[in-house]
Amino acid sequence: MGFNKKTVEDIEVTGRRVLVRCDFNVPMKDGAITDESRLTGALPTIKYLMGKGGKVILCSHMGKAKGPDPKLTLAPVAARLGVLLGKDVIFAADPEVVGPNARAAVEAMKEGDVILLENTRFRPEEGKNEDGFSRDLASIADIFVNDAFGSAHRAHCSTSGVTKYVSTSVCGYLIQKELKFLGEALENPSRPFCAILGGAKVIDKIAVIDNLLNKVDTLIIGGGMAFTFLKARGYDIGSSLLDEGRIDYAHEMLEKADRLGVRLWLPLDHRVSAEYADVEGHVTGSANVPEGYMGLDIGPLSEEVFTEAIKEAKTIIWNGPMGVAEFKNFESGTRAIARAMAESGAVTIIGGGDSAAAVNSLGFGHRMTHVSTGGGASLEFLEGKELPGIAALNDK
């Protein structure tokens, strides 16, 4: 993965049509936006381009549309963006996305104007990265800016296809920030470097574990995925989540950690329940889970040991909660990790998705060095994969 990409500050935008791929896939309820963080995250890039006299054309997907769907229109986003920017954002209502309305709106633009195109997934070609839609997007732009890290792992028309037909393609401030923090953590971290992985499934993190073991000094594994590793070490896991087909893989990773001298921590105790529900749990006295019970969170001893490991680190990446954090009775482990990171003084990076939602809901998000805006993209980045939406941008 190349991190040295041109940014909006490396180009001249005055009077030019600048197509900006944003991530406006915001949660909606009854036609209202319920979380504006993706809108506010896009403002620095939009304001910079406006201030430099660019003609700013915004585009994004929303939801899983497979063609025009009035329930997934970006019209409410345009209205709210206008309020946040203190300037009208023209909404180019066009089921073809780049149709007569969009072309007329672009034609009428003055320097500093902002328009928003309709949901890019209203065009079925978007997800297939087909040339027709890529050419249409490029036909209304002189410059392409990608600022949607959360979609950068997808090779779609609006993330990578368009770059084939626009001579200048650069990143915005959000992607620049992601490359800085995630890239530096993986390539040149302050040490000791600690990675914390949680979440439910081993399969989601297979390549991440394999890649991180080559880079970190300490690896902490919690969440549902930890039980496959505990089973591989010979512990009883009761009716806890188990990926039977990944036990051999867990063995391999435990052996790899030993071979590389990486300290690999698994839970030493658990909060367990006989049912998957938000009920009061019992704490086990060891890493074993009694028959008939399932582990739904790490226990207090695990919290203590993991916190000590975090205190020693200078760089920490975390992806995935330690338990079923949406249950109040089983959020303690996730809260303990978030608090330890917030108080650590290290470079602290939250790798998007459920862990980002958890640290924000627990009130620790503002105390982290960087909270990634991309769940799937962050995971693929941590795996060491090339992200098509970033690879397609111009190098410095």
The CATH number given to whatever domain includes residue 221 is 3.40.50.1260
pLDDT of residue 2: 52
Are 215 and 303 part of one and the same domain?
yes
- Given 6, 87, 128, 201, which residue is catalytic? 201
Are 167 and 193 part of one and the same domain?
no
pLDDT of residue 52: 98
Return left, alpha or beta for 152; rule: phi > 0 is left, psi -120 to 50 is alpha, else beta: alpha
Is 376 within a domain? yes
376 is a catalytic site residue: yes
Count of beta carbons in the 10 Å neighbourhood of residue 7:
20
Q: Taking residues 344-367, report their average pLDDT.
A: 89
**What is the residue range of 313's domain?**
181-383
Strand bridging mode 270-273 / 282-283: antiparallel
- pLDDT tens digits, residue range 269-312? 999 999 999 999 999 999 999 999 999 999 999 999 999 999 99
Which two structure tokens, joined as six digits, stand for 304? Answer: 């203590």
The lowest-confidence range among 74-78, 84-88, 107-111, 199-203 is: 199-203
- Give the chain's domain count: 2
pLDDT of residue 201: 82
Cα separation of 49 and 394, whole Å?
18
Are 125 and 25 part of one and the same domain?
yes
Is 1 within a domain? no
Bridge partners, residue 345, by sequence: none
Is 388 within a domain? no
Are 268 and 165 part of one and the same domain?
no
- Secondary structure class of 217 (helix, strand, coil): coil
292 is a catalytic site residue: no
Are 214 and 161 part of one and the same domain?
no
- Given 17, 21, 38, 231, which residue is catalytic? 38
- Given 16, 376, 384, 385, which residue is catalytic? 376
> Where does a domain end: 116, 144, 174?
174
Which two structure tokens, joined as six digits, stand for 23? Answer: 């991530």
Are 140 and 267 part of one and the same domain?
no
Are 149 and 209 part of one and the same domain?
no
Are 145 and 18 part of one and the same domain?
yes
38 is a catalytic site residue: yes
Are 85 and 226 part of one and the same domain?
no
Are 148 and 73 part of one and the same domain?
yes
Is 59 within a domain? yes
pLDDT of residue 8: 98
Within 13 A of 138's CA, how many CA atoms are on the CB side? 18
Q: Taking residues 206-231, report their average pLDDT.
A: 95
- pLDDT tens digits, residue range 313-348? 999 999 999 999 999 999 999 999 999 999 999 999
21 is a catalytic site residue: no
Cα separation of 194 and 315, whole Å?
6
Residue 353 has pLDDT above 80, yes or no: no
> Where does a domain end: 131, 147, 174?
174
Average pLDDT, the chain: 94
Are 170 and 258 part of one and the same domain?
no
Are 158 and 204 part of one and the same domain?
no
Residue 382 has pLDDT above 90, yes or no: no
- Given 353, 374, 375, 389, which residue is catalytic? 353
Is 117 within a domain? yes
